[in-house]
Amino acid sequence: MADQITIICRNPGMRRAGIKHPASATYAADKFTKTELAAFRADPAFEVVDGEAPAATTVSALRTAEAEAKTKAEALATANTEIERLKGAHETAEAKLEERDTEITALKAELATAATKIAALEEAAKAAAKTPAKK
């Protein structure tokens, strides 16, 4: 058994075991008899907790949770900023890629035109080679 007990009264001001009870109070474990503790536990208006007062634990846990939430919120804000930066970089890269694709398409068209001209010149050269030269 713990060296302390905490009695939580759901209706502060109620009397039990000769004491007017606040919302929560911590007592030495031997303050009440086993019979009195059994009566507290049986009464739905009371909760008996062995050990440290839950309010202090709850406040401590709440402060810890708030600090963690603040840290996580800051990390989330940093991550969101980075996401926005990366989205911008991605959009810039997509625009450059589209520009390069357009250039490649134009260069392929020029290459096809040049290949057609080369083929025509080669045909003309072959035809010229077959015809005898005039003297």
For 10-46, what is each residue's pLDDT tens digit? 888 888 888 888 888 888 888 888 999 899 899 988 8
Position 77 in a domain:
no
Position 15 in a domain:
yes
Percent of the chain with pLDDT over 90: 47
Position 12 in a domain:
yes
Asked if the model's pLDDT at residue 92 lies above 80, the reply is yes
* Residue 28 lies in domain: 4-52
Using DSSP's 3-state secondary structure scheme, residue 16 falls into strand
Asked if the model's pLDDT at residue 103 lies above 90, the reply is yes
pTM of the model: 0.43
Position 65 in a domain:
no
Counted domains in the chain: 1
